[in-house]
C-alpha cells in the first residue's frame, strides 16, 4: 500500500535538508568515540566471485552495530536541560543498545521500548548499559503510540531510530570512513550495498559514497517480506510491508521507509535487492569461515545479496556493509550447520 503521509513536495524539501555537510559535521562530533571499523577483503571470496569485495565490518562497532554512531551524534546535540529530563526510544535491539551506551556516556536517563520477542542478547545488553527497558507485543501494539505517551508524560526527548537528520548523519559516518578506506586501497567502487530497515544507514551511507564517487551504484538489501525499500524505489513512492511475516532478520523488520530517509534514498539508490532467510544464513556462515566475523542475520543481507548472485559483481569493485553482529548463539550455530560454502 501507499502511505498516506507521502507528499512529493515534502519529500523534496526533506531531501534537500540532508547533505554531505551534515555527515561531515557528525564526523567531527563522533571522532575518537566511534570506532573506525576495518574494511576487510578476502582473497578467497574475491576469487570465488570474480570481483573485488570490500566488507565494511560495522559489526565491530561499539554495541555491535552501526547504530551507536547515530545515537551518539543525536545525543551530542541535546541541550543540558533536555539531557537532564532524559530520552526515550523504540527499537528491536540495535538502536536500543546504541542509544543506551550513548546515554550512559552523556549521563542521560534512557527508557527503551523493545518488542517482547527481540533477541535475548539485545534485551540483556540494553539493560546492562543502564537503560530502562519496556517491552511490547510486536504484533498487537504500536510502539510509536507507546513512545509518544511515555515521552509526553515525563518530558522525555524521543530519539527516533532512523527518521531524523542527526541519526542519518551519524550513520553516514560509516560511508565517510569507507570512502577514506577505499582511497587508502586505491579502490574506486562500482557498486555498494548496505542492509535497509528504516533506511537511516542507507541514506547516510549512500550520500557519503556518492559525494566522493558519483558514479558508484548504491543498492539496498532487504529480507523477503520486508522489501519495502526495494518496492518503494521501484514505485517512486513510499510503500509499506503487508503484515509481519516471520524472518530471522530481526534488525530490519521495519514497516516502511522513513519519510526523511526515503527522500534521500530515492535520489541516491539505484534499486533494492531481496534475499531469503536461507541466503542470509549462508552469508553468516561464509563470513564465519572467510572473514572471522560474527554477523547477525539482518546485518548479513547485503553480503547475502552479493554471495547468492542476486547482483552482478563480476569484474567489479563492490563495497558491502556488514551492519551488525548481535545474534544469539543458537541462531548463529544454526547458520553454521548449513556448512557455509555454497558460493
Tell me if 44 contacts a copy of itself by CB under 8 A. yes
Among 71, 121, 239, 318, interactor with a copy of itself by CB under 8 A: 121
Positions in 168-197 near a copy of itself (CB under 8 A): none
Using the minimum distance from each CB to a copy of itself, give the nearer residue, 84 or 188. Answer: 188
Q: Binding segment for a copy of itself among 11-19, 83-91, 122-130, 254-262 (CB under 8 A)?
A: 122-130
Specify the 3-state DSSP secondary structure of 20.
helix
Using the minimum distance from each CB to a copy of itself, give the nearer residue, 31 or 244. Answer: 31
Q: Binding segment for a copy of itself among 76-84, 85-93, 231-239, 329-337 (CB under 8 A)?
A: 329-337
H/E run at residue 209: helix 200-212
**Length in residues, the chain:** 343
Tell me if 298 contacts a copy of itself by CB under 8 A. no
H/E run at residue 132: strand 132-136
Among 53, 64, 260, 317, interactor with a copy of itself by CB under 8 A: 64
10 Å Cβ neighbour count for 35?
A: 15
Q: Given its phi and psi angles, is residue 271 left (phi above 0), alpha (psi -120 to 50 degrees) or beta?
A: left
Given a contact cutoff of 8 angstroms between Cβ atoms, the answer to whether 210 and 217 are in contact is no
How far apart CA 59 and CA 326 sit, in angstroms, is 8
Using the minimum distance from each CB to a copy of itself, give the nearer residue, 61 or 157. Answer: 61
Given a contact cutoff of 8 angstroms between Cβ atoms, the answer to whether 156 and 83 are in contact is no
Among 292, 309, 312, 315, interactor with a copy of itself by CB under 8 A: 292
How far apart CA 134 and CA 40 sit, in angstroms, is 37
Q: Binding segment for a copy of itself among 71-79, 109-117, 281-289, 307-315 (CB under 8 A)?
A: 281-289
- DSSP class of residue 8 equals H
Tell me if 88 contacts a copy of itself by CB under 8 A. no
Q: How is 27-68 classified by DSSP, letter by letter?
A: HHHHBTTB----EE--HHHHHHHTSEEEEEEGGGSGGGBTHH
Q: Binding segment for a copy of itself among 5-13, 108-116, 304-312, 330-338 (CB under 8 A)?
A: 330-338
What residues form DSSP beta bridges with 319? 54, 192
Using the minimum distance from each CB to a copy of itself, give the nearer residue, 164 or 279. Answer: 279
Using the minimum distance from each CB to a copy of itself, give the nearer residue, 38 or 109. Answer: 38
Among 156, 201, 294, 304, interactor with a copy of itself by CB under 8 A: 294
**Closest distance between a copy of itself and the C-beta of residue 34, in Å?**
12
For 26, how many CA atoms within 13 A lie in the half-sphere containing its CB? 31
**Closest distance between a copy of itself and the C-beta of residue 280, in Å?**
16
Specify the 3-state DSSP secondary structure of 314.
coil
**Closest distance between a copy of itself and the C-beta of residue 324, in Å?**
8
Among 19, 76, 77, 288, interactor with a copy of itself by CB under 8 A: 288
Written as nine digits, the cell of 100 is: 543506551
Tell me if 291 contacts a copy of itself by CB under 8 A. yes
Q: Given its phi and psi angles, is residue 63 left (phi above 0), alpha (psi -120 to 50 degrees) or beta?
A: left
**Closest distance between a copy of itself and the C-beta of residue 167, in Å?**
21
Written as nine digits, the cell of 102 is: 550513548
Look up cell 564465519; give the residue. Answer: 288
Tell me if 35 contacts a copy of itself by CB under 8 A. yes
Q: What residues make contact with a copy of itself under the rule CB under 8 A? A: 35, 37-38, 40, 43-44, 57, 59-60, 62, 64, 101, 121, 125, 128-129, 285, 288-289, 291-295, 325, 329-330, 332-333, 336-337, 339-340
Amino acid at each position: 500500500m501507499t502511505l498516506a503521509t507521502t507528499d512529493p513536495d515534502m519529500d523534496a524539501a526533506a531531501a534537500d535538508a540532508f547533505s554531505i555537510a551534515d555527515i561531515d559535521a557528525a564526523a567531527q562530533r563522533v571522532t575518537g568515540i566511534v570506532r573506525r571499523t576495518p574494511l576487510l577483503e578476502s582473497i578467497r571470496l574475491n576469487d570465488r566471485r570474480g570481483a573485488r569485495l570490500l566488507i565494511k565490518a560495522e559489526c565491530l562497532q561499539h554495541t555491535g552495530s552501526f547504530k551507536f554512531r547515530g545515537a551518539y551524534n543525536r545525543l551530542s546535540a541535546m541541550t543540558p536541560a533536555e539531557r537532564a529530563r532524559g530520552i526515550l526510544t523504540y527499537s528491536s535491539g540495535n538502536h536500543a543498545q546504541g542509544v543506551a551506551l550513548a546515554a550512559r556516556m552523556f549521563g542521560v536517563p534512557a527508557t527503551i521500548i523493545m518488542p517482547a520477542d527481540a533477541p535475548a542478547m539485545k534485551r540483556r545488553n540494553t539493560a546492562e548499559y543502564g537503560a530502562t527497558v519496556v517491552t511490547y507485543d510486536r504484533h498487537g501494539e504500536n510502539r510509536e503510540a507507546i513512545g509518544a505517551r511515555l515521552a509526553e508524560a515525563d518530558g522525555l526527548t524521543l530519539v527516533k531510530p532512523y527518521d531524523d537528520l542527526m541519526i542519518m548523519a551519524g550513520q553516514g559516518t560509516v560511508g565517510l570512513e569507507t570512502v577514506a578506506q577505499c582511497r587508502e586501497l586505491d579502490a574506486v567502487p562500482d557498486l555498494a550495498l548496505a542492509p535497509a530497515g528504516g533506511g537511516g544507514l542507507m541514506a547516510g551511507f549512500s550520500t557519503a559514497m556518492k559525494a566522493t564517487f558519483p558514479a558508484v551504484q548504491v543498492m539496498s538489501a532487504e529480507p523477503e517480506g520486508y522489501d519495502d525499500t526495494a518496492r518503494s524505489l521501484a514505485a517512486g513512492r513510499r510503500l509499506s510491508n503487508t503484515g509481519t511475516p516471520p524472518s530471522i532478520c530481526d534488525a530490519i523488520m521495519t514497516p516502511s521507509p522513513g519519510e526523511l530517509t526515503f527522500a534521500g534514498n530515492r535520489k541516491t539508490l539505484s534499486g533494492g535487492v531481496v534475499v531469503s532467510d536461507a541466503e542470509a544464513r549462508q552469508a553468516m556462515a561464509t563470513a564465519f569461515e572467510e572473514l572471522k566475523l560474527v554477523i547477525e542475520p539482518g546485518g548479513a543481507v547485503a553480503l547475502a545479496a552479493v554471495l547468492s548472485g542476486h547482483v552482478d559483481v563480476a569484474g567489479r569493485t563492490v563495497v558491502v556493509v556488514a551492519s551488525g553482529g548481535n545474534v544469539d548463539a543458537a541462531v548463529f550455530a544454526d547458520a553454521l550447520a548449513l556448512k557455509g560454502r555454497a558460493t
